[in-house]
Structure 1
């Protein structure tokens, strides 16, 4: 196999996608607004995961710790990092909802828990996570 095939110029770029995550934000025709999302790189995902990971002391073992990920924070940061439009870092948009962080704005914009969950599933699949944690657990049981 040719080394040339692995060169960056031959690597496919994942195109941005559009998705309407909530029925509460509508366009002038009464249709849910499409948001634009981008692919998150492996490095970005690692950085997000690391920022959401903390050391938790193991009960009964002084000085012993284990790593624990704050799943809710990870989900919010991953989706926020994927979002291109609307710009969740826009201060005017944040101010209109009374928040200061992109992930907090995201939760204000998509404030229906079912829609938020559906958005996360969409982002997971778009970023290459083809199976959910629940599916993996079920598969391991069988």
Structure 2
């Protein structure tokens, strides 16, 4: 019995862990390849450590008029930051691509390139690639039922 516990434990070692696979996702039917088919975007999952950095970048402490301090989290900018960090194709940091849309940042580019529903779908695809199986809308719908 002691041997099987040791064997099970070894599955948690860094070398044994299965790496998260990149995901391809057709964000929009508006971006078509030469074959006329929608071009798939490539999403590469990132670690919880990177996620913590993004959360810290989008969390601020604000002073209220009464002098108290409150923590404020900008979930909209965090969601865009996750997309920018996870999407590797197309290269959202490409200067020529940004210039073609008249923007100077990957965050602005993705918001200008995509329709609101497309951006929402992309954010959901990134969340799933990162291991968040359900988005908040699914959780709310489940709670209502």
The TM-score normalised by the length of structure 1 is 0.87
What are the ranges of 5 or more consecutive residues in structure 1 without an aligned counterpart? none
Instruction: Confirm whether residue 103 of structure 1 aligns to residue 104 of structure 2.
Output: no
SS, match of residue 56 in structure 1: strand
Deviations 1:84-127 (A, max 9, x none): 111111112112212121111111222x1111111111111121
CA distance in 1, matches of 2:50, 2:88: 15
Deviations 1:35-72 (A, max 9, x none): 1110021011111111111223345xx22121111111
SS, match of residue 11 in structure 2: helix
Aligned length: 139
Aligned counterpart, 1:74: 78
Q: Please tell me whether Structure 1 or Structure 2 has the larger radius of gyration of its CA atoms.
A: 2
Aligned counterpart, 1:12: 18
What are the ranges of 5 or more consecutive residues in structure 2 without an aligned counterpart? none
Aligned counterpart, 1:122: 125
Instruction: Confirm whether residue 28 of structure 1 aligns to residue 34 of structure 2.
Output: yes
Among 47, 55, 61, which residue is 1:55 paired with? 61
Q: Give the CA deviation at 1:139.
A: 4.9
Instruction: Confirm whether residue 46 of structure 1 aligns to residue 52 of structure 2.
Output: yes
CA distance in 1, matches of 2:144, 2:38: 39
The TM-score normalised by the length of structure 2 is 0.85
